[in-house]
Amino acid sequence: MSKATITISVLGKEFTVSCPEEEREALVRAARYVDARMQETQRSGKSMGIERGAVMAALNIAYELLRLREQSQSAVGDFGRRVQALIDRVDGVLREEFKEQADQAGS
């Protein structure tokens, strides 16, 4: 796993970071996202310094992440319940089928 050094830009400030080569594109996308959120925070019309803007952008990003995690967990739970319901239905059908076959064999 080779490391790459890349330069990213957030609010016009450049930062040099290293990351595994295979994660380079994801890091670039993340930096663009952070930059866009920082710019959005700066454009909100409220006068705030870079540091406060960074904290506000970080809070907004963390909120989005947590909301998406909750939605994902909920979807996984719903999926699990649906799969269990299907398993129960198939199991019931198979039990009935085996019972009918056993009854016919006993006749």
Amino acid (one-letter) located at 7: T
> Which residue intervals of 1-107 are DSSP H helices?
24-42, 50-106
- How large is the average pLDDT for residues 57-69? 92
CATH code that applies to domain 3-106 = 3.30.160.880
What band does 95 get if pLDDT is binned at 50, 70 and 90? confident
Q: 107 pLDDT band (50/70/90 cuts)?
A: low
Asked whether residue 74 carries a pLDDT value surpassing 90, the answer given is no
3-class SS of residue 68: helix
Report the alpha-carbon distance of residue 97 to residue 32 in Å, rounded: 59
Average pLDDT rounded to a whole number, residues 75-104: 86
Q: What is the DSSP code string of 9-39? A: EETTEEEEEEEEGGGHHHHHHHHHHHHHHHH
Domain residue extents for the chain: 3-106
